């Protein structure tokens, strides 16, 4: 059977089916996880008991490496594939690696983005299970979130004893599907017994605060406490109303008691992978779970964790939110770069989501690569800003030219950082050995990790620090509404929380059209929201869609069963 898709590219699903899998219990045992810590979910997936965190606490810590990227194009630059390939490359040079990644959201998987298992010969398998349901964690988050929504509306129906002001209610409903028709809805229509009419809407499950809580919690008890702190709205006096007060947090915890356990899978070359939590990258942390990392850090030589989007997004949140929650410090950072992203940041080309790359971008042009260097250099600087040693990983595409790879090496050399060209997509672990060696060297250097701002800084100071230091803004422009919200949150005692900036991932700035590393611009902060249970405040800097829509030719239209009743069309 051909491993080519109709477009001529490698067919990820067919490649994944050709993998030689080890029994998943053997993968766990090789990590030092006893059978009593492993709970089977079918043949190829295990849940890892939370008891593993305490039981393994006396083992030495692995080196901790975060994989991020330069600011991506709408096509993505292959961070998951690089993370998986690097894990396999570590195995090829005699290092035991554990990969930790987010769980796939079915909305994007069946929309434009595709799956989240990696690609080519650097995938997490079984690819179908990872992208479609897995162990049901997404559905558990959906159920827990919507239980709170139902109890909130029932509270309004039964007299609103807590005095919630309807216009201040921030808690919506969620669903793990791309459905633009649900962004804004009216509920409670019908007769008196059908509830209190009000305007609300749906977000995608990955955008739920419950998902963010799942990603940042450290134990079942911590999960219970965080869920209780969720703020659903405010009274006319500005006092927060919580899930605890609505008596929903206990049942929400029970619905999530299996979902809080990380999922164990493997790569095509049998590297262990912990897949857990999938917080939205634009408005949430965009990182996999703290619990998965705490397990991984005691079960290998290296832990390779992926942070969503570019270094200004997922990596900044990894450093300042996730590491705050876990108490762990990274030893190195991999910044994924591609020839096409560097060319895109030259400002000479236009890439449209869902459409092929412009043909002219495929022509050999090291000059265009150098013209886009500013963005990569800024993301390298962002790693150093946190005291972390960066390594540039060139994710090689078949359409690249040797002169263009040489240009990326020259850019990295100008910043005095290690650089490796990796062909892991087409060659698996063998194609990532140069990158693995470079990461081992970088992680052996003394790390001086530092958070970007102290807890004691004001919310406005934290926002301005991120905007000016990480994004390169000249300053921030806080709307009157945002200023009032900041004042309300600080009055309510939320001022010590870290910041999770909600902005476009397609630019270092708040404007997706600005490429490279723009200067002299101001970041608009039009609204500020608080995820108190998750433990962060998120300013809205632009138009953030928390419920995606389907494109004109969604991936779902191509997913089906073939004559042998096998899934086809998933990518």
SS (H, E, C) 417-483: CEEEEECHHHHHHHHHHHHHHHHHHHHHCCCCCCCCCCCCCCHHHHHHHHHHHHCCCCEEEECHHHH
Homologous superfamily assigned to 137-255: Domain 2, N(10)-formyltetrahydrofolate synthetase (3.30.1510.10)
In sequence order, what E strands does 102-239 have? 118-119, 122-125, 173-175, 185-187, 198-200, 202-204, 231-234
Rounded Cα–Cα distance for residues 120 and 431 (Å): 12
Parallel/antiparallel/unpaired status of strands 231-234 and 202-204: unpaired
The label of the residue with tokens 């791309």 reads 178
Candidates 3.90.420.10, 3.40.50.2000, 1.20.1070.10, 3.10.410.10; CATH matching 459-541:
3.10.410.10
Give me the DSSP letters along 135-152: TSHHHHHHHHHHHHHHHH
Token pair of 426, please?
Answer: 């087409």
Q: What CA–CA distance (Å, rounded) separates 560 from 571?
A: 12
- Measured CA to CA, the distance from residue 374 to residue 275 in angstroms comes to 33
Q: What is the average pLDDT across 536-552?
A: 89
Please write the tens of the pLDDT for every residue from 291-325. Answer: 999 999 999 999 999 999 999 999 999 999 999 99
pLDDT at 2: 36
CA dihedral 106, 112, 113, 114 (to 10 degrees): 60
Q: Which residues sit in the known binding site for ATP? A: 73-80
pLDDT at 338: 98
d(CA 87, CA 98): 7
* pLDDT (0 to 100) of residue 571: 74
pLDDT at 8 (0 to 100): 37
Mean pLDDT of 379-392: 98
Give the end-to-end CA distance of the chain in Å, rounded to a whole number: 17
- Matching CATH number, 12-121+261-350+366-444, of 3.30.1380.20, 1.10.150.120, 3.40.1080.10, 3.40.50.300: 3.40.50.300
Prior bond of 210 cis (ω within 30°): no
Domain ranges of the chain: 12-121+261-350+366-444, 137-255, 459-541
Query: Could you report the per-residue pLDDT of 420-458, keeping only the tens digit for each?
Result: 999 999 999 999 999 999 999 999 998 899 999 999 999
Binding residues: 73-80
DSSP helix/strand/coil, 218: coil
| Structure tokens, 522 | 């101001």
* SS3 (DSSP) at 40: strand
Distances (CA, A) of 106 to 136, 147, 183: 11, 21, 17
**Mean pLDDT along residues 143-163:** 98
Helix (H, G, I), strand (E, B) or coil at 375: helix
Lowest mean pLDDT among 79-88, 98-107, 148-157: 98-107
Predicted pLDDT at 564: 85
Exposed, middle or buried, 402 (CB in 10 Å: 0-12/13-18/19+)? exposed
The three-state secondary structure class of 530 is strand
- Give residue 5's pLDDT band: very low, low, confident or very high (50, 70, 90): very low
Alpha-carbon gap, residue 30 to 245, rounded angstroms = 45
pLDDT at 111 over 90: no
pLDDT of residue 10: 59
User: Could you report the per-residue pLDDT of 9-25, keeping only the tens digit for each?
Assistant: 458 888 988 888 999 99
- And the tokens for 141? 């988050």
Q: Tell whether the model's pLDDT for residue 7 goes beyond 60.
A: no
**Mean of the per-residue pLDDT values for the chain?**
94
Cα–Cα nearest to 411, from 441, 469, 444, 367: 367
Q: What is the pLDDT of residue 354?
A: 67
The percentage of residues in the chain with a pLDDT greater than 70, rounded to a whole number, is: 98
State what percent of residues in the chain have pLDDT above 90.
84
Task: Give 516's pLDDT tier (boundaries 50, 70, 90).
Answer: very high
pTM of the model: 0.95
**Over residues 168-181, mean pLDDT:** 96
- pLDDT tens profile 251-272: 999 999 999 999 999 999 999 9
The predicted structure's pLDDT at residue 351: 83
User: Is residue 140 within 8 Å of 259, Cβ to Cβ?
Assistant: yes
pLDDT tops 90 at residue 481:
yes
């Amino acid at each position: 059977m051909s491993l080519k898709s109709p477009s001529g590219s490698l067919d990820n699903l067919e490649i994944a089916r050709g993998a030689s899998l080890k029994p998943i219990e053997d993968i766990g045992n090789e990590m030092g996880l006893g059978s009593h810590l492993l709970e089977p979910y079918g043949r190829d997936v295990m849940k890892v008991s939370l008891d593993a965190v305490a039981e393994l606490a006396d083992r030495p810590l692995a080196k901790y490496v975060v994989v991020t990227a330069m600011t991506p194009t709408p096509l993505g630059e292959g961070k998951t594939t690089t993370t998986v390939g690097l894990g396999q490359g570590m195995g090829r040079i005699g290092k035991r690696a554990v990969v930790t990644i987010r769980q796939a959201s079915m909305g994007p998987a069946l929309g434009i983005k595709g799956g989240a298992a990696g690609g080519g010969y650097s995938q997490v398998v079984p690819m179908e299970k990872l992208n479609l349901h897995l162990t049901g964690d997404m559905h558990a988050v959906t159920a827990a979130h919507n239980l709170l929504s139902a109890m909130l509306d029932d509270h309004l129906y039964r007299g609103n004893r807590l005095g919630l002001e309807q216009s201040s209610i921030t808690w919506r409903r969620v669903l793990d599907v791309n459905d633009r028709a649900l962004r804004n809805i009216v509920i409670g229509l019908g007769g008196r017994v059908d509830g209190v009419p009000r305007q609300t809407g749906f977000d995608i499950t990955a955008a739920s605060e419950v998902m963010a809580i799942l990603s940042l919690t450290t134990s079942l008890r911590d999960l219970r406490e965080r869920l209780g702190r969720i703020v659903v709205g405010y009274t006319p006096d500005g006092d927060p109303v919580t899930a605890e007060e609505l008596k929903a947090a206990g049942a929400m915890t029970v619905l999530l008691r299996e979902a809080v356990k990380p999922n164990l899978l493997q790569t095509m070359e049998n590297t262990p992978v912990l897949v857990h939590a999938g917080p939205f990258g634009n408005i949430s942390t965009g990182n996999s779970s703290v619990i998965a990392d705490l397990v991984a850090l005691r079960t290998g030589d290296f832990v390779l964790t992926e942070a969503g989007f570019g270094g200004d997004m997922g990596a900044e949140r990894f450093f300042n939110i996730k590491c705050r929650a876990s108490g762990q410090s990274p030893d190195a950072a991999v910044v994924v770069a591609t020839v096409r992203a560097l060319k895109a940041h030259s400002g000479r080309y236009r890439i449209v989501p869902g459409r092929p790359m412009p043909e002219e971008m495929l022509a050999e042009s090291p000059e265009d690569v150098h013209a886009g260097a500013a963005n990569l250099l800024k993301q390298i600087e962002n790693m150093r800003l946190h005291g972390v040693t960066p390594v540039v990983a060139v994710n090689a595409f078949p359409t690249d030219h040797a002169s263009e790879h040489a240009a990326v090496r020259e850019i990295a050399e100008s910043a005095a950082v290690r650089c490796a060209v990796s062909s892991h997509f087409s060659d698996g672990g063998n194609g990532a050995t140069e990158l693995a060696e470079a990461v081992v060297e970088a992680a052996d250097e003394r790390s001086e990790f530092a958070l970007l701002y102290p807890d004691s800084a004001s919310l406005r100071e934290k926002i301005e620090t991120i905007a000016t230091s990480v994004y390169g803004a000249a300053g921030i422009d806080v709307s009157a509404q945002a200023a009032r919200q900041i004042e309300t949150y600080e009055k309510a005692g939320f001022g010590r929380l870290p910041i999770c900036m909600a902005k476009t991932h397609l630019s270092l700035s708040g404007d997706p059209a600005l490429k490279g590393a723009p200067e002299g611009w101001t970041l608009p902060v039009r609204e500020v929201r608080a995820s108190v249970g998750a433990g962060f405040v998120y300013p809205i800097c632009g138009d953030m869609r928390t419920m995606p829509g389907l494109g004109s030719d969604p991936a779902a239209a191509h997913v089906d069963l073939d004559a042998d009743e096998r899934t086809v069309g998933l990518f």
